[in-house]
A = this chain, B = another copy of it.
Amino acid sequence: PVPQDLDLEILEAVMKQLDAGKIRENLRELSRQPHVASSPRDEALVQLLLQRWGDQASGLDEARTVEYEVLLSFPSPERPNLVEVVVPNGAVLHAYLPKEENVTGEQGGSDVVQPYAAYAPSGTPQGLLIYANHGTEDDFQYLLNQGINLEGTIALTRYGVAGRGAKAVNAAKHGVVGVLVYTDPGDINDGHSFPNETFPYSWGLPPSGVERGSYYEYFGDPVTPYLPAHPSSFRLDSNNASGFPPIPAQPIGFQDAEGLLCNLQGPAAPASWKGALHCEYRLGPGFKSGGDFTEDSQVKVSVHNHLELRNSSNVLGIIRGAVEPDRYVVYGNHRDSWVHGAVDPSSGTAVLLELSRVLGTLLKKGTWRPRRSIVLASWGAEEFGLIGSTEFTEEFFSKLQERTVAYINVDISVFASATLRGQGTPPVQSVIFSAAKEIRSPGPSGLSIYDNWIRYTNRSSPVYGWIPSMGTLGAGSDYAPFIHYLGISSMDIAYTYDRSKTSARIYPTYHTAFDTFEYVEKFVDPDFSSHQAVARMAGSVLLRLSDSFFLPLKVSDYSETLHGFLQAAQQDLRDLLEQHGISLGPLVTAVEKFEAAATALGQRISDLQKGSPDPLQVRMVNDQLMLLERTFLNPRAFPEERYYSHVLWAPRRGSVATFPGLANACSKANNTDHGSEEWAEVHRQLSIVVAALEGAAATLRPVDDL
């Protein structure tokens, strides 16, 4: 019998049935009310998903929830966080309440969680204000170089460049006692800042808008690292948990930030530190005379956040594979938002629900069942640090690692309606390209998504020539535990900006109470055609991964990455390494071995495809493709980096765009003596990468070539 393979007619039918109108209705319902993690509305959405996926009528085989008890952080409804300007006798000159103006009637509800820095500790630090740009280590160093005493100050920083938590960590190192973080209109609104220039009159962020967010440094439930957060599970004492901001922090809007920043005294900020507030940017410390405040006044930040163990659920929808039920394609998005979360994450969930409707319909009719199993997932508590997805990978670590073919993430499905954005590990590039070539892009161009994409984001590949440029995966959404902890080939798909039209750091109402259905409908994707395009992309990639006889993972596409990393090492590190007796020779050999093995495997697959291979033969090859990504994991490579064990994609702090362990170790060793421990660690990291690449090549070579 002919083995079950991808059926192009089914694929075409799915593409056709994905309905923009139904996505719109999904989004309206999902974003109707605020649904921060573990809130009543979040729980109601769990029920909605259960009903959509679990009902017999849905066509899916099963839906279930998995609940975890996780440590979240919330502001106090009774004692709102506050930023005050006070004089030495304690009198308050001015109080800023970080609360968004009720512009469209949706910002005032009691279920709107007021802006805060999740996991920032409580406290009421007070001190002279300084302006610290993005709050990077370099920024604080610059202030010190200007002779500014940071001890006891409050640092006003702007969002961007450094991560949220990193700003507080960097600040605290220099004795700063509290951190404010604001969104500069130059970074988010292309400079616009007046109310009539912003939502609801444009997609711009209103002056009162405040970006909420998690200030936790790692991901996953903070008190159950490496263990699923079941009620009986061991928990760290939250006082012993690491990764929380060391000092109180609070985000504010640019209206309030202007009031503070524009009154600063001190030297002028360098040009690159300046945003679009209507004043000079000065560094402080403290306020100028003749401004709104007295010269001796200080800023007091009152943070009343508290930690709380809360129940948070993932919802899973299962479609059992017909032929290889033990091979899983997982497709997920988070469900929780900061407020209404129309864009983040409901634009993704609306797409997920529409795709599950269409697949369910086919299943019900009996016209289709995938070759492999499909797991649809609605993750909880992502906004607090990818908690639901991380706990899931902890609970099912072995099973997922043994069986998962790929993970597809669609968080925000539409940032903007200009072009596709694809991020992932190299093996998924080809399946994304295949899908993108077959789907029409939204709008009148008539171009395929691929041909539209290449106009916006492109690069010259030594292998393929001119192609769209894929991004890599950091830890920005729920793919992080899949790629970094489990070593599963992962991707994230979205529609995004025309960068010639905006330089906004992200869509302006991100993580604010202005991210509403109305916002999407008016400014992001009025006809939902970009949502539909993403649904088609996700659907096509999902079907290709679940149905193709040969897995559409092109492992040889890793060679380009490896060559890039290797070249960077050769150019920027070789001489230094040689001075310390460390040769890149073994790395060169390992990359060559990998490339040869990957190319030969590609050839074997082509040869097999020409014949009529038996399913067991194909399974063996598919296992090589599936497991390649696993061979890059080394749980002992970076013991201090929680969950990160992928030796190619761990966080890179060094400036050289090479293997992260090598880059980081080199930047640490750089100013140490010959023969130092740090140089030994450089050599160890090099050997780890070489061993991983040799292991990867061994996995790709013919399986009977021992």
Which residues of A approach B to under 8 Å, CB–CB? 61-62, 226-228, 230, 232-234, 236-237, 316, 318, 320-321, 323-326, 328, 373, 375, 394-399, 402-403, 583, 585-586, 614-616, 619-620, 623-624, 627, 630-631, 634-636, 639, 680, 683-684, 686-688, 690-691, 694-696, 698-699, 703-704, 706
- State whether B704 touches A321 (Cβ < 8 A): yes
How far does the Cβ of A617 sit from chain B's closest Cβ, in whole Å? 9
Q: Chain B contacts of A325 at CB under 8 A?
A: 620, 703-704
The answer to whether A397 and B233 have CB atoms under 8 Å apart is no
A584 to chain B, nearest CB (A): 10
A688 & B227 in contact (Cβ 8 Å cutoff): yes
Beyond the given A325-B704, A326-B620, please list 16 additional residue pairs across the A-B interface where CB-CB is below 8 A: A62-B706, A227-B684, A228-B691, A228-B694, A233-B687, A234-B680, A325-B703, A326-B704, A328-B706, A373-B703, A373-B704, A394-B691, A395-B695, A398-B630, A398-B698, A402-B623
Chain B residue numbers with a CB within 8 Å of A690 are 232-233
A373 with B636, Cβ < 8 A, contacts A627-B398, A696-B398, A699-B398 known = no
Please list 5 pairs of residues, one from A and one from B, whose beta carbons are closer than 8 Å in the complex, sorted by A's number.
Answer: A226-B636, A398-B631, A399-B631, A399-B698, A635-B636
Inter-chain contact B323/A234, CB cutoff 8 Å = no
Instruction: Note all chain B residues with C-beta closer than 8 A to A323.
Output: 616
Q: Known: A234-B680, A326-B623, A699-B398. Is A704-B586 also a contact (CB below 8 A)?
A: no
Give the chain B neighbours of A232 by CB distance below 8 A: 583, 585-586, 687, 690
A65 to chain B minimum Cβ distance, whole angstroms, is 13
Query: Smallest CB–CB gap between A49 and chain B, Å?
Result: 15
**Which residues of chain B come closer than 8 Å to A704, judged between CB atoms?**
61, 318, 320-321, 325-326, 373
The residue that A699 contacts in the complex, of B234, B402, B683, B686, with Cβ under 8 A, is B402
Contact of A683 with B234 in the complex, beta carbons under 8 Å:
yes
- Is the Cβ of B703 less than 8 Å from the Cβ of A627? no
- Residues of chain B within 8 A (CB-CB) of A691 are 227-228, 233, 394-395, 397
Q: Is the pair B706, A375 in contact by a Cβ cutoff of 8 Å?
A: yes
User: Which residue of A615, A623, A695 has the most chain B CB atoms within 10 A of its CB atom?
Assistant: A695
Q: Which of B375, B619, B636, B696 contacts A619 (CB 8 A)?
A: B619
Nearest residue, chain B, Cβ from A322: B704
Q: A320-B704, A687-B233 are in contact. Are A627 and B402 (CB under 8 A)?
A: yes
CA distance A694 to B687 in the complex (A): 35
Question: What residues of B have a CB within 8 angstroms of the CB of A61 in the complex?
Answer: 704
A682 to chain B, nearest CB (A): 9
Smallest beta-carbon distance A420→chain B, Å: 30
- Name the contact of A324 in the complex, choosing from B402, B620, B627 (C-beta under 8 A): B620
